[in-house]
Chain A
Amino acid sequence: MLQIDNLHAEIDGKPILKGLTLSVSAGEVHAIMGPNGAGKSTLGYVLGGRPGYEVTDGSVTFDGRDLLGMEPHERAAAGLFLGFQYPVEIPGVSNVQFLRESLNAQRASRDEKPLSGGEFLKLARAEAAKLDINAEMLKRPVNVGFSGGEKKRNEMVQMGIIDPKLAILDETDSGLDIDALRIVGEGINRVMRRPDKAVVLITHYERLLEYVAPDFVHVLVDGRVVRSGDIELARELEREGYGAVSA
């Protein structure tokens, strides 16, 4: 589904990704762990097409298509979802409006007809309820005044509504309380654990992986995948730290 080969990317002329290779097939969950500043979020942004993140070498294909040649919104319409480490606040734009615009824009690009206001609200309320986000919060401006954990759960509500094929979730577990972590973990399984879908989970904690059992665990250090393994690798990291594991 996602094939990343020898990816090099820089920000403001500073190389961050330095030859990253990763292959994700349908039905798989991959976890990416790594020290602060390793380039995990950068990988997410490069895959999402954020302006300012310049790819200098390598290739990325998504379902056989050249991902890097697509506009950010085209990547979304193709089925890519990026869960943000720091979800952005948008004053003056309600969650409902934001989500409806997003969903209908994606539907339009797939030649599907837009959902009406009523249909959309029903869907949004149902998805929000699954993540303990009430209808009142849906009316509020996007992420404005949301707590850290609420922002992360809001990302999952968006994922549930958009129903993507591939989700790159950047530290969706950070800042969640114990119950929210379970709710989010279950949400990921419910929406994404399907033979035709895949997940890349960026995380610092082995804890989320207890809920969303990864098929592969990769260690990203200094812009490269330095080790890959299974859940055992995550447990080893938890015990011994990156220094020992990536040495």
Chain B
Amino acid sequence: MTLLTLPSTRQEAFRWTDVDGIAAAASLPRADAGPADAFWLDLPGDRLLFVDGELHASSRLGRAELAEVAASDHPLGSRASGRGWRLALSADAVADPVQVVHLSTGGDNHLAAEILLADDAVGTVVETYAGRGWANRFARLTLGKAARLQRAVRLLQDEGFASTRDEAELGTGASLVQIALGAGGAGSRIDAQVVAGEGAFAEFGGALLTRGTQKQECAVAVRHAEPNGQSRQYWRAVAADQSAASLAARVEVARHAQKTDGEQSLRGILLKRTATVNLKPELEIFADDVKCAHGATVGELDERALFYMQSRGVPRARAQAILTRAFVADAIERIGNEVVADAFMADADAWLERAL
């Protein structure tokens, strides 16, 4: 493996990034990661299995294909630019969900993706990260006029690190709803830049659940370049043990992007006092007629609610699980596809079972 040059935590955009964790993940020796079968959801459509970034023969490609993806200049994303997969939908096309499983067995692997939806096309993509090692991904998303993309990403790697960098451009009236769940044992960084066009809707959020000494973070910026756009960034973090979850979300409103309606809600729960949740909500607004609401809170579970449940017979650990689940569901239930939302909640439940 070549020597890694990684971003430094001295760079503001990477201040909470577990750079040592990335290096350690990349040097994990290869080991059998087991079968990918359990990660497929009961949905029609393509199934792409990448083992250490290589397309596996068992994959089922219909709409999706292998392709070259134009490079990114992002410090992590640039490593993954080039070789990858593409989903290109022509105007008005409505595609079955495309499932992608990224299975890593150790070391580092890098892969790019491109999702191109022409005007009025509708696509759904569900991605799962599993195994061990460093999985690094770059995706370029381009949505035409009134195109709609729903994308759900779950990070379930047992160990190592998953880093994703998305660069999205939404055309007039287009809609992107992307929800992530970090519920594995690996570190992560979810990094994205979304540029919303006139009247576009951008929802980018999710839940990061951390335990042990794990570190997960999101660093997402939504830029409203044109008027009448809407964005929603709902992030939830649950941190147990000595872990750290960091949520950095940014809304930028360009000078002429009037009537922008942006909502940002970053909330964290500490299951132990030794855990850390970092929040960094940012608003950068240059237009004067906009509505941007934001809230950021970190706390422990509501003691009054815990006692209320206990007084009705629910053991404390179970009461904690119920409250934490409700907190996480707030973000995950925004996934439109019920099969996907249920599967993600089941992953969150499995995590809670372990952490509490």
Check if A15 is an interface residue, CB within 8 A of chain B.
no
Give the number of residues in A that approach B within 8 Å (Cβ atoms): 31
CB within 8 Å for A73 and B316 given contacts A82-B311, A101-B309: yes
Contact with B along A42-83 (1 / 0, CB 8 A): 000000111100000000000000000001110111000110
Tell me which of B310, B311, B323 has the highest count of chain A C-beta atoms within 10 A of its own C-beta: B311
Contact with A along B306-317 (1 / 0, CB 8 A): 011111111110
Check if A91 is an interface residue, CB within 8 A of chain B.
yes
Check if B355 is an interface residue, CB within 8 A of chain A.
no
Check if A103 is an interface residue, CB within 8 A of chain B.
yes
Interchain CB contact under 8 A, B313 and A71: no
Q: How far is the CA of A67 from the CA of B233 in the complex (A)?
A: 47
Scan residues 76-110 of chain A and give those whose CB is less than 8 A from a CB of chain B: 76-77, 81-82, 84, 87-93, 97-99, 101-103, 105-106, 109
Interchain CB contact under 8 A, B312 and A162: yes
Contact among B305, B307, B308, B313 with A105 in the assembled complex (CB-CB below 8 Å): B313
Task: Return B38 CB to nearest CB of chain A, in Å.
Answer: 27
Q: How far is the CA of A128 from the CA of B310 in the complex (A)?
A: 21
Interchain CB contact under 8 A, B307 and A72: yes
Interchain CB contact under 8 A, A48 and B307: yes
Quick check: which of B77-85, B268-276, B324-332 contacts chain A, the rest being far away? B324-332
Task: Return B288 CB to nearest CB of chain A, in Å.
Answer: 34
CB within 8 Å for A71 and B316 given contacts A91-B326, A92-B329, A92-B330: yes
Contact with B along A102-134 (1 / 0, CB 8 A): 110110010000000000000000000000000
Check if A172 is an interface residue, CB within 8 A of chain B.
no
Check if A203 is an interface residue, CB within 8 A of chain B.
no
Interchain CB contact under 8 A, A158 and B326: no
Q: How far is the CA of A159 from the CA of B329 in the complex (A)?
A: 28
Contact partners of A89 in chain B: CB under 8 A: 305
Interchain CB contact under 8 A, B330 and A90: no
Interface SS of A by simple majority: helix
Contact among A48, A72, A82, A93 with B323 in the assembled complex (CB-CB below 8 Å): A93
Check if B354 is an interface residue, CB within 8 A of chain A.
no
CB within 8 Å for A77 and B327 given contacts A48-B307, A51-B307, A90-B308: no
Task: Return A201 CB to nearest CB of chain B, in Å.
Answer: 17
Q: How far is the CA of A48 from the CA of B302 in the complex (A)?
A: 17
Contact with A along B327-339 (1 / 0, CB 8 A): 1011000000000
Q: How far is the CA of A50 from the CA of B314 in the complex (A)?
A: 14
Task: Return B31 CB to nearest CB of chain A, in Å.
Answer: 39
Closest to B333 in A: A92
Closest to A161 in B: B312
Contact partners of B316 in chain A: CB under 8 A: 71-73
Interchain CB contact under 8 A, B313 and A103: yes
Contact with A along B288-324 (1 / 0, CB 8 A): 0000000000000011110111111111101000110
Task: Return B60 CB to nearest CB of chain A, in Å.
Answer: 36
CB within 8 Å for A98 and B307 given contacts A92-B327, A93-B322: no
CB within 8 Å for A162 and B313 given contacts A92-B326, A101-B318, A105-B318: yes
Interchain CB contact under 8 A, A51 and B303: yes
Closest to B321 in A: A101
CB within 8 Å for A76 and B304 given contacts A90-B326, A92-B327, A105-B318: no
Interchain CB contact under 8 A, A76 and B307: no
- Mind listing 19 A-B residue pairs with CB under 8 Å? A49-B310, A71-B310, A72-B311, A72-B316, A73-B314, A76-B313, A82-B311, A88-B304, A90-B302, A90-B309, A92-B330, A93-B322, A93-B323, A97-B322, A101-B309, A101-B322, A102-B312, A102-B314, A105-B318
Supply 19 further A-B pairs (C-beta < 8 A) apart from A105-B313, A105-B315: A71-B316, A72-B311, A72-B316, A73-B310, A73-B314, A88-B304, A88-B308, A89-B305, A90-B302, A90-B305, A90-B308, A90-B309, A90-B323, A90-B326, A92-B323, A92-B327, A93-B322, A97-B322, A98-B309
